[in-house]
Structures are given as structure tokens and as C-alpha cells.
């Protein structure tokens, strides 16, 4: 009778371990998806900042063009075009800052590091159970 219990307990235990491993893998996949979503959102934000930089750069170019037009129109009056150049310079600095922010945000790698580390630990734990 004891042999019969041992023989039925081993398949049951193996079945439970396999079910636990399958459940663990599903949880790890959900964690990886969540982590990738977070990292993807950071990339999207970086793209938004770069788009803002492009918009500010376009405005700076338009103001520079406006300054040139006012400079030609006012051939001797310096006030209008100098004020336009100052505004264009400020916008150019803002565009550079927005571009730098967007570039910095988009530099992060799109690898689920925490999930990979957790999977490695899970594999090690499963190996220990079978040892």
C-alpha cells in the first residue's frame, strides 16, 4: 500500500510543480508587459519633447525671418529687428532645452530588466526544487 501512495504522490507533486511554474510564467509575462509599457511610454514622452523642440525651432525660424523683414523695412531703425532677434534667440534656447530633454528621455533601453532578473531567479528556484 505504501508503494501505491509513493507512486501516486510523485505524479501529483510533479503536476503541481508544473502548474505552479506555468502560473509563475504567466505572472512574469504580465510583469514584462507592464515594464515594457512603462518604458514605451517614456519613449513616447521623448518623442513628444522632440516634437515640441521641432515646433519651437520652427517658431524661432519664423521669428528670424520676421526680424530680417523688419530689418530691411526699417533700414535705419534698429529697434524692431533687434527685438525680433532677442525673441528668436530665447525661442532657440527653449528649442534646444526641449530637444535635450526629449533626447535624454529617449536614451533608455527598451529591455524589461526587472522581469529578466526575476525570471532568472525563478529558474534558479525551480532548479533547486528538482535538485
- Is the pTM higher than 0.85? no
The reported pLDDT for the residue numbered 57 is: 93
**Each residue of 66-77: pLDDT tens digit?**
776 676 556 566
Instruction: Please state the rounded mean pLDDT for residues 117-124.
Output: 82
Write down the mean pLDDT value for the chain.
80
What b/e readout covers 32-65, taking b as 16+ CB neighbours within 10 angstroms? beebeeebeeeeeebeebbebbeebbebbeebbe
Enumerate the domain spans of the chain: 2-130
More confident: 46 or 115:
46
**Each residue of 25-60: pLDDT tens digit?**
888 888 888 888 888 888 888 899 999 999 999 999
Amino acid at each position: 500500500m505504501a508503494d501505491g501512495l509513493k507512486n501516486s504522490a510523485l505524479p501529483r507533486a510533479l503536476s503541481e510543480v508544473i502548474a505552479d511554474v506555468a502560473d509563475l510564467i504567466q505572472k512574469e509575462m504580465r510583469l514584462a508587459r507592464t515594464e515594457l509599457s512603462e518604458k514605451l511610454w517614456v519613449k513616447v514622452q521623448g518623442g513628444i519633447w522632440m516634437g515640441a523642440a521641432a515646433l519651437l525651432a520652427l517658431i524661432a525660424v519664423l521669428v528670424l525671418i520676421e526680424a530680417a523683414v523688419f530689418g530691411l523695412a526699417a533700414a535705419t531703425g534698429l529697434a524692431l529687428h533687434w527685438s525680433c532677434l532677442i525673441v528668436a534667440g530665447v525661442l532657440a534656447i527653449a528649442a534646444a532645452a526641449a530637444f535635450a530633454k526629449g533626447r535624454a528621455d529617449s536614451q533608455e533601453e527598451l529591455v524589461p530588466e526587472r522581469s529578466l532578473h526575476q525570471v532568472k531567479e525563478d529558474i534558479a528556484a525551480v532548479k533547486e526544487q528538482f535538485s
